[in-house]
Amino acid sequence: MSFDALLKEVESLDDEERRRLLAFMVAMEDRSNAGYAEKLARKLDDTSPGRWLTPEQCERELGLSDERA
């Protein structure tokens, strides 16, 4: 299956299926990137708008992007 086909399949999922897929993907990332879930949880639990991150900043903070800062 191509990546584009996969994206179309994901778009067709209902809310519950997308949540399950997201949970699965986070679990996969946590297995391959030690501490990922804990780091993500800390960022998600931060209620201070001044400290919120964009998705791109979050990827950089968690060391998930190819970009080297």
For the chain, the domains span 1-32, 34-69
Task: Report the distance separating Cα 42 and Cα 2, nearest Å.
Answer: 34
Q: What is the pLDDT of residues 39-62, one digit of tens each?
A: 888 878 888 888 877 888 888 888
For 47, 62, 64, the CA distances from 25, given in Å and listed in that order, are: 24, 15, 13
Task: Report the distance separating Cα 60 and Cα 23, nearest Å.
Answer: 20
Tell me, what amino acid is at 29? E
**Cβ atoms of residues 62 and 35 within 8 Å:** no
Residue 14 has pLDDT above 90, yes or no: yes
- What is the mean pLDDT of the segment spanning 5-32? 90
Task: Report the distance separating Cα 12 and Cα 62, nearest Å.
Answer: 29
Residue 17 has pLDDT above 70, yes or no: yes
What pTM value is reported for the model?
0.47
